[in-house]
Homo-oligomer: A and B are copies of this chain.
Amino acid sequence: MNTFGTIFRLTSFGESHGRGIGGVIDGMPAGIKIEYDFIQNELNRRRPGQSSIVTPRKENDKVEFLSGVYEGYSTGAPIGFVIYNENQHSSDYNNLKETFRPSHADYTYTQKYGIRDHRGGGRSSARETIARCVAGALAKLVLKELSIDIKAFTSQVGNISLSKDYRQYDLSRIEENIVRCPDEKKAAKMIALIDEVRAAGDTIGGVITCVIQNMPVGLGDPVFNKLHAELGGAMLGINAVKGFEYGMGFDGVQYRGSQMNDVFVQKDGRVSTLTNNSGGIQGGISNGEDIYFRVAFKPVATILRDIQTLDKSGAEVILKAKGRHDPCVLPRAVPIVEAMAAIVILDHYLLNKTKHI
């Protein structure tokens, strides 16, 4: 299904080279001031053509809101929106109509639906994530009023990764470089690597770290909808994501419980923990400490090289290098990670209001 969320819900539609991308945001709390500039700015953060290390495609990605807002405030009615497509080089993709690109969704879509809009990847294009950024921007407007702060950044590109803990960086400076990494020196190295990869007509993966601060205690449903399960499911739903870990994550498996347990202490008059290996979530419920998690992105499949593959008939064909692509999706994926996190947190904030009369 193309709906995400339980109370705060995004239903998304649209293909890369169709009329446009859009959706319906349902469950937006009433009476929230809609700051259009903020929302557009969030879209601009994921927009192609924003820097030298992303695809040069030029798109304005201007969102039009069609409902649910009156005199600048949300009314509680569903918010319909659309971003019309522009600057499509559909002809770039004619060669894909009958051909399955390796590690793309071409083959699986064709098998599942028996028909597919091949232009620019159609529904499987990462262009769909614009809709998530719109919903995420609205969620952020609500979370701002709750003083909940979500920040994501690029913590690894290829084999270049941050050595220090997020607490040791000034997260307010993430936007100061085009790769969105809070460590200037590492950022420069990452950018150089992406340039090198692009020059080779290749792509590279990486890791985005996300931190949620000033969390209320008590968000998350403790069994199947643990807060980290919801966050993980949301992140794994983003194109090119191959892994998710929170708190101690995969590294923590080699330690002892006695080393990893977070001792409770009194801090500023509230219950806090000395360490935060739990990543701000215990038993699936937020405990008020920082939530932090890491998301692994594969090197995207679209490379600018001739590729041998199969066509619909099963015959071998050579796919000529064509089109415009991202050598590394991470810089543009940072706002998408934040957006999905914002949707999950707001959804659970609202759900949590139903636990008591």
Q: Which residues in A have some Cβ–Cβ distance to B below 8 Å? A: 1-4, 6-7, 9, 11-15, 18-24, 26-27, 29-32, 64-68, 70, 73, 75-80, 82, 100, 102-105, 107-109, 111-117, 122-124, 128, 142, 145-146, 156, 158-159, 197, 200, 202-207, 217-218, 220-226, 228-230, 232-234, 236-237, 242-250, 252-266, 271, 273, 277-279, 282-287, 296-303, 305, 307-310, 314, 349-357
Residues of B within 8 A of A82 (CB): 66, 80, 82
Given contacts A102-B262, A264-B107, A282-B108, contact A13 B205 (CB under 8 A): no
Task: Give the shortest distance, in Å, between A244 (CB) and chain B (any CB).
Answer: 6
The answer for the CA separation of A205 and B103 in the assembled complex, in Å, is: 33
**Cβ contact within 8 Å between A24 and B23:** yes
Task: Give the shortest distance, in Å, between A277 (CB) and chain B (any CB).
Answer: 7
Given contacts A102-B263, A103-B262, contact A116 B70 (CB under 8 A): yes
Q: Contact partner of A243 among B243, B265, B349, CB < 8 A?
A: B243
Given contacts A258-B202, A285-B108, contact A66 B14 (CB under 8 A): yes
Task: Give the shortest distance, in Å, between A254 (CB) and chain B (any CB).
Answer: 5
The answer for the CA separation of A156 and B263 in the assembled complex, in Å, is: 26
The answer for the CA separation of A28 and B66 in the assembled complex, in Å, is: 23
Given contacts A31-B356, A225-B1, A356-B31, contact A252 B78 (CB under 8 A): no
**Cβ contact within 8 Å between A19 and B64:** yes
13 contacts between A and B (CB under 8 A): A3-B9, A4-B224, A15-B67, A20-B66, A20-B67, A103-B260, A103-B262, A112-B217, A233-B233, A257-B303, A258-B305, A261-B301, A266-B314
Task: Give the shortest distance, in Å, between A192 (CB) and chain B (any CB).
Answer: 15
Q: Enumerate the 6 nearest inter-chain pairs by beta-carbon distance, A residue then B residue, closest first.
A: A105-B283, A233-B233, A243-B245, A13-B80, A203-B257, A205-B253
